Amino acid sequence: MPAPIEFYFDFSSPYGYLASELVDAIAERHGRNAIWHAVVLDATYQSQDRIRIPTHMMRSEYVMRDVERSAGYYGLPYKAPAHPSLHTELAARVFQWLGDRQPQQARDFGHGVFRALFTEDRNIADAAVLQELATKAGMSEADFHTVQTDGTTKTRLKAEIDVAQARGVFGSPFFIVEGERFWGVDRLPQLERWLEKGAY
């Protein structure tokens, strides 16, 4: 099996949402797997000298229109959330917990979270909303409570984020394949070209 596409995202990223709806099909077309990694960019990189899109810019008229236009281009549903800068740590912890045990359930949960925020304008920082989405993905109430209260899930997420940082991940979405890094949903055509013909 060729090297997988490593897909890094923050659940608050509208571009991450768009990528989440596209990356698996791209991987399948090229006989690869896509491995999803949830990170929390604000919590991780706020003290780092990294490239980040400031919150006020993410709320700008241009970005709001760009995401809407991009969703239309890809034929994806999209509704601009009223509060786009929600804290996503708990969602990422649930995703990571599921991913370590049932990757497909984690992916189902990831789709649910992204769609809840960017097509239904739901509050994905609300534990009740996340529990509902986790239950739909096959997670028990007891396991969800464990993720909420057990400090080891924070440690596990931090380890995932530390690896991302060490690999040079600084935004959402971010892709790594065969050591090559691609930042942004607008780099997916370049990524797919790389998968088709190799380095250029």
Sheet of strand 34-38, all strands in order from the earlier edge strand to the far edge? 34-38, 5-9, 174-177, 180-183
Q: Reduced to 3 states, what is the DSSP secondary structure of residue 38?
A: strand
Identify the bridge partners of residue 38 per DSSP, sorted by sequence position. 9
pLDDT band at 16 (very low <50, low <70, confident <90, very high): very high
Q: Cα angle at 155 between 154 and 161, to 5 degrees? A: 90
How many alpha carbons fall within 13 Å on the CB side of residue 13?
A: 28
187: DSSP letter: G
Q: Which amino acid is at 82?
A: A
pTM score, whole prediction: 0.91
Distance CA 89, CA 101 (A): 19
Distance CA 60, CA 8 (A): 24
What is the percent of the chain where pLDDT is above 70? 90
Mean pLDDT check: name the lowest of 35-39, 44-48, 63-67, 191-195: 44-48
Cα 67 to its chain centre, rounded Å, is 15
Mean pLDDT check: name the lowest of 29-43, 103-117, 130-144: 29-43
pLDDT band at 77 (very low <50, low <70, confident <90, very high): very high
Pair type for strands 180-183 and 34-38: unpaired
Mean pLDDT in residue range 45-53: 45
